Amino acid sequence: MYTLNVEDSGTGTLTLTGDLTIQHAQELKESLLEAALQSMHLNLNFKDVDRVDLAGLQLLCAAHRALLERKKGLTVVSQVPDVLKEAIKTAGFENCIDQDDPSGLWRGGN
């Protein structure tokens, strides 16, 4: 389940729970797209993420790139779960954007 809360300031928080996998790719894509459209700055909260696969990583990477292209920010506001860290490492996504990426998403947290 993915929930979005957007404040009047334009900061959105997308809370991701459960599985970020191919079985949930359409829902994750729609949630990330809505969050990117509605937010000037997006906070990602990986609350209780259980599983992550390549499809989930690709969608996170695409959303992150889209935010950067639109000069919008992204911040990880929770502990990056071990399952996400392992998926990032296994898939070679540590430097998805660049090594100076301040979000910490691709390095497993700030």
For each of the domains in the chain, give its residue range(s) and CATH number, in order of start.
2-107 (3.30.750.24)
Per-residue confidence (pLDDT) for residue 25, from 0 to 100: 96
Q: What is the per-residue pLDDT across 6-55, written as a single tens digit (0 to 9) for each?
A: 999 999 999 999 999 999 999 999 999 999 999 999 999 998 999 999 99
Backbone angles phi, psi at 105, to 5 degrees: -60, -45
Per-residue confidence (pLDDT) for residue 92, from 0 to 100: 83
**What is the model's pTM?**
0.85
Backbone angles phi, psi at 98, to 5 degrees: -170, 170
Q: What is the per-residue pLDDT across 62-103, written as a single tens digit (0 to 9) for each?
A: 998 889 889 999 999 988 899 998 998 888 877 664 455 666
Backbone angles phi, psi at 75, to 5 degrees: -135, 135
The two counts, helices (H) then strands (E), for the chain are 3, 6
